[in-house]
Amino acid sequence: MVRALLIGKPPGAELGYEYVSEEPYDAVVVGSLTLGQLLRFREERVLTALAEGKTVLLYTPGLPEAEKNRPLATQLAAARRELKNWGVLFTDGGRKHLVTAEEARLLRDTGKCPGPGAVLTPLAREILDGQ
């Protein structure tokens, strides 16, 4: 089983990783974040993993919401977009994760394979098959 550093609480769904608290690990799973953590995300271990090209998954049911405060909800959405732009992959724990062409290129360039249950777009399949 692939070893993953766990940040926050364990996800409520099985993501196919063995969780560890120290190196070595092949991926990072962020199981939960508080409002403040999401708004000012600077988790050094996650940033280092991204810089090293490791897979970083964020379990979306573990993210805070602010449905009754529109300005705060807007800031939370911007924080989520920023994490996606950095290369963090979002998952709700479902067995199927859609791998886009952009993600396929990242996987190919880092020598990694899609996770268990991944569904590839036609272009992503073409990119990964052409390795």
Give start and end residues of each alpha helix (H) in the chain. 35-39, 44-51, 70-86, 101-110, 122-129
Query: Could you report the per-residue pLDDT of 26-41, keeping only the tens digit for each?
Result: 899 999 999 999 999 9
- Count of domains in the chain? 2
Q: Are both 28 and 72 inside the same structural domain? A: yes
Residues spanned by the domain of 59:
2-94
46/9 same-domain check: yes
Residues 18 and 81 in one domain: yes
* 19 and 67 co-located in one domain: yes
Whether 87 and 99 map to the same domain: the answer is: no
Same domain, 85 and 119: no
- Whether residue 73 is found in the same domain as residue 26: yes
Q: What is the pLDDT of residues 44-103, one digit of tens each?
A: 999 999 999 898 999 999 899 998 999 999 999 999 999 999 999 888 877 567 787 888
Q: Which two tokens stand for residue 121?
A: 């777009």
Cα–Cα distance measured from residue 53 to residue 92, given in angstroms and rounded to the nearest whole number: 22
Q: In terms of domains, do 111 and 129 share one?
A: yes
The answer to whether the predicted template modeling score (pTM) of the entire model surpasses 0.85 is: no
